[in-house]
Structure 1
């Protein structure tokens, strides 16, 4: 088993209210050279927090996170950095509609499967 770190991604359509729903996860396992992200947005739950939220913007932000994890140039300059730097950049606190929760840790032999488990447990 190898250690990993993860953050749950939260959508807060009205950041000043402090209300959010979990919409994704980012998992980083240095020992297995793995950085992955997944997301699942329920538009109705998101609109319950703010009926005027632009769901497409939230989804685009989450796709940006996935591109950064994959090292895809569509992720911008952050996607070109080393894998550990990408995770730290994604896990850094920020006041945006989509932002990370605290960093948590675990053990894995299959980080992709554990990413799906996190999505099932905390997002879906």
Structure 2
């Protein structure tokens, strides 16, 4: 049986004034099967090409917190909210180093498999 899912890309935006970004992860939420996960990959050399002074430690820490909010491993209060509330909170517009794309939808029989497919297609550098 297939279910509707929503996803958003995680984007590193080293300098908001320039508006340049690089995809560094994907969030996938499927309410029908209580699934909210993220998968990330940071290509540090490509990010340094956008901004040699990027704070990569802050980016890695932020990604860890976001993924923790998805899987519930964080100690933050967001853990006490529903998965849908967490997804909406994570995908809310912000002007920080880590931002999300608009939310997109699809259908899936395996959220884990589609998370991996989106990560390989939209986050990992082209081969």
Structure-1-length-normalised TM-score: 0.96
RMSD: 0.8
Q: Tell me, what secondary structure is at the counterpart of 1:38?
A: strand
Matches within 5 A, 1:39-78: 39-74=40-75, 76-78=76-78
1:99 maps to which residue? 99
Stretches of structure 1 that go unaligned for 5 or more consecutive residues are: none
1:30 maps to which residue? 31
Report Cα offsets for 1:8-52 as digits up to 9, x if no partner. Answer: 000001011100000000000001110000100000011011001
Q: Tell me, what secondary structure is at the counterpart of 1:64?
A: helix
Q: Distance in 1 between matches of 2:50 and 2:120?
A: 21
Stretches of structure 2 that go unaligned for 5 or more consecutive residues are: none
2:89 maps to which residue? 89
1:10 maps to which residue? 11
The number of equivalent residue pairs is 123
Contact 2:26–2:115 under 8 Å retained in 1: yes
Report Cα offsets for 1:70-90 as digits up to 9, x if no partner. Answer: 11233x111221111000001
Q: Distance in 1 between matches of 2:4 and 2:40?
A: 22
Q: Distance in 1 between matches of 2:57 and 2:46?
A: 14
